[in-house]
Amino acid sequence: MPKTKAVAYAILTVETDADKADALAEALEARWNRTAIQIQRPNASRTWIELYFEKDIEALLAAHAVRHWPDVLAAQPRVCRGRDWLSFWKHHFKSRPIGQRLCIRPVWEKNRAPIKRRKTIWLDPGLSFGTGEHFTTRFCLEQLDRLCGARKINSLLDVGTGSGILAIAAAKLGVPRILAFDHDAQALEQALANIRRNRVTPHIRTDVRDLERDAFPKGRFDVVCANVYSRLLIEAAPALANATRHHVVLSGIREAELDSVADAFAAQGGQETVRDGDGEWGGLVFQWIRSSST
């Protein structure tokens, strides 16, 4: 197993009532543009929400900012060493088959026998939360598997790549040209490490780019994947629709917001072909019919 550097990360833990957790987690995600992880014991009346930062001062300032928010019972920053982070993922991240042809496996399972007739994606998540465990990532992987099995996909744009899992999956499924970008430079470093680990570097180009502030990549791609927040999807709908030749795969959407996101992409001329959810999160696939010259 590869050695893990003893890097320190900062974690903000927010305590709230269980019935308030979903709304508070969404508010925290919107404020800091980071994935909120909910931790709850069975039958417990309280839930703990965690946000992860690169610097301890960021977690400290965030704790001060949220302590007087409605429904926040407590907010506490702490430092997590690299070895603690690895222990967290060893407990929560296990091998799992996805779709018809994919298997996501953590790097610490390298010595285990491969799963027959599946393309293995070796992953070290680092600070990124793209492991296939969450519905939003799993939905995108399943739809990529389906689309790549139905026709030849020559290019893909991965918006908010995180751990690089979608870009790597696309390369393993035979997509030869992939552009993956993320606003978080540290997450992109982890994505690059995973790309090299899976030996798909020739097929994937990466870029640090902010969906809200930076210019959108030029050109069109056969498939565009965007696993980001609903607000960003709605605001970026014209750019995302213009970037695809055929399909847009969308996730990171609360189920209650599926209609709003779908309306934004229907307004761009897309046809909804897939809608799925797990009771909390949802995903959409839209298709465009374009001439061969566009």
The domain spanning residue 201 has which CATH number? 3.40.50.150
The string of pLDDT tens digits covering residues 217-232 is 989 999 999 998 888 8
Judgement on whether residues 154 and 267 belong to the same structural domain of the protein: yes
Cβ neighbours, 10 Å, residue 237 = 22
All residue ranges of the chain with pLDDT < 50 are 1-7
Q: Is residue 293 part of a domain?
A: no
Residue 250's region, left for phi above 0, alpha for psi from -120 to 50, else beta, is beta
Judgement on whether residues 248 and 134 belong to the same structural domain of the protein: yes
Any alpha helices (H) in 98-215, and if so which ranges? 135-150, 165-172, 185-197
Q: Is residue 92 part of a domain?
A: no
Q: Is residue 88 part of a domain?
A: no
Judgement on whether residues 188 and 261 belong to the same structural domain of the protein: yes
Q: In what order do the strands lie in the sheet with 46-53?
A: 37-39, 46-53, 8-17, 74-81
Q: Is residue 61 part of a domain?
A: yes
Judgement on whether residues 38 and 135 belong to the same structural domain of the protein: no
The string of pLDDT tens digits covering residues 121-139 is 988 765 555 566 678 889 9
Q: Is residue 97 part of a domain?
A: no
* pLDDT score at 2: 42
* pLDDT score at 186: 72
Q: Is residue 98 part of a domain?
A: no
Can you give the CATH number for the domain in which 16 is found?
Answer: 3.30.70.260
Judgement on whether residues 134 and 253 belong to the same structural domain of the protein: yes
Two tokens, residue 131 = 């492991």
The string of pLDDT tens digits covering residues 136-170 is 889 999 999 999 999 999 999 999 888 899 999 99
Q: Is residue 110 part of a domain?
A: no
* pLDDT score at 3: 44
Judgement on whether residues 133 and 59 belong to the same structural domain of the protein: no
* pLDDT score at 102: 94
The last residue of one of the domains, among 82, 109, 136, is: 82
Judgement on whether residues 67 and 131 belong to the same structural domain of the protein: no
The two counts, helices (H) then strands (E), for the chain are 9, 14
The last residue of one of the domains, among 59, 82, 105, is: 82
The last residue of one of the domains, among 58, 82, 106, is: 82
* pLDDT score at 39: 83
* pLDDT score at 142: 96
**Residues whose CB is less than 8 angstroms from the CB of residue 4 and which lie 6 or more positions away in sequence, other chains included:** 82, 83, 85, 86
Looking at the structure of the chain, the number of domains it has is 2
Which structural domain range is residue 201 located in? 127-287
* pLDDT score at 130: 58
Cα–chain center distance at 204: 17
**Residues whose CB is less than 8 angstroms from the CB of residue 214 and which lie 6 or more positions away in sequence, other chains included:** none
Q: Is residue 168 part of a domain?
A: yes
pTM of the model as a whole: 0.72
Judgement on whether residues 145 and 269 belong to the same structural domain of the protein: yes
* pLDDT score at 31: 87
Judgement on whether residues 169 and 29 belong to the same structural domain of the protein: no
H or E element that contains 81 = strand 74-81
Any alpha helices (H) in the chain, and if so which ranges? 21-32, 56-66, 82-92, 135-150, 165-172, 185-197, 230-235, 237-243, 258-266
